[in-house]
Amino acid sequence: MEIIKINDFNNHTLSESDIIKRILSGEKELYEILLRRNNQKLYRVIRSYISNTAEIEDIMQNTYLKSYEKLYQFKHHSSYSTWLIRIGINEALARLKTKSKVLHLNTAQNLNSNSILERPDTSQLNPESKIIRKEAKQLLEKTIDSLDTKYKTVYILKEVEEMSIKDIANCLNISTANTKVRLHRAKHMLKEKLFEITTNVDIFEFGFSKCDDLTEKIMSIILKN
């Protein structure tokens, strides 16, 4: 029997089919491989529906537990990630439905610090460039957040997670044609919203961080004299 080391958990040397068969045969520890391979994707999908970090993690936990309990039902017609995402979406929708019965939905939830579009930064950027990149990313994330869920989810799955139109359609239980329409509309709305922001005469009223830094430097010089 092949021995799996901790460092091998995130690689793709084992196929999903082999991993699932071995888990069902009693090697429960191999389920960690499926978690590590799908954590980011599942997070981003659920983040399309709910923005509270604690709730997202709770839903992810429930999704993984349900997936594990029902793993014997998984049919290998589609990828495990597609099957997992469908469970996650159902969990997120169930959570929203429960909240709507008990509370008035809060339409102005705070943006959490976790990133929708987090990418490893391997380049050696200077501090100013890092600030600009961070603020540009935050602006894009906020704009994506402003989209309706049905458009936001399709956009994230296609443009961020790079899933195929067919897989997205399977995840959301909609046709491929509908998926393409939603993606097109999402891109169009993002363009319009970003254009509105960048053409707003007040956009630099508060300034980026580099403007704040420059102001502080100038005032420091003035106050010293």
Q: Please tell me whether residues 44 and 131 are part of one structural domain.
A: no
Q: Please tell me whether residues 11 and 82 are part of one structural domain.
A: yes
In a domain, 65, yes or no: yes
- CA 60, 144, 149, 34 torsion: positive or negative? negative
Across 177-203, average pLDDT: 79
Looking at the structure of the chain, the number of domains it has is 2
Position 115 scores a pLDDT of 41
CA distance 109 to 53: 11
CA distance 218 to 159: 42
Q: Which domain holds residue 48?
A: 1-103
Position 125 scores a pLDDT of 55
Q: Please tell me whether residues 6 and 83 are part of one structural domain.
A: yes
In a domain, 47, yes or no: yes
Residue with tokens 């790079």: 162
Question: pTM (2 decimals)?
Answer: 0.61
pLDDT tens profile 109-123? 443 434 444 444 545
Token digits for 159? 């443009």
CA distance 134 to 142: 12
Report helix, strand or coil for 113: coil
CATH of the domain at 192: 1.10.10.10
CA distance 161 to 170: 15
In a domain, 219, yes or no: no
**Highest averaged pLDDT of the listed ranges 91-100, 102-111, 193-202:** 91-100
In a domain, 179, yes or no: yes
CATH of the domain at 35: 1.10.1740.10
Task: Give the domain-ending residue among 69, 88, 103.
Answer: 103
Q: Please tell me whether residues 63 and 147 are part of one structural domain.
A: no
Q: Please tell me whether residues 146 and 90 are part of one structural domain.
A: no
Q: Please tell me whether residues 140 and 189 are part of one structural domain.
A: yes
pLDDT tens profile 110-158? 434 344 444 445 455 555 556 556 666 777 778 888 888 999 999 989 9
Residue with tokens 């067919």: 166
Are residues 51 and 91 in contact, defined by beta-carbon separation less than 8 angstroms?
A: no
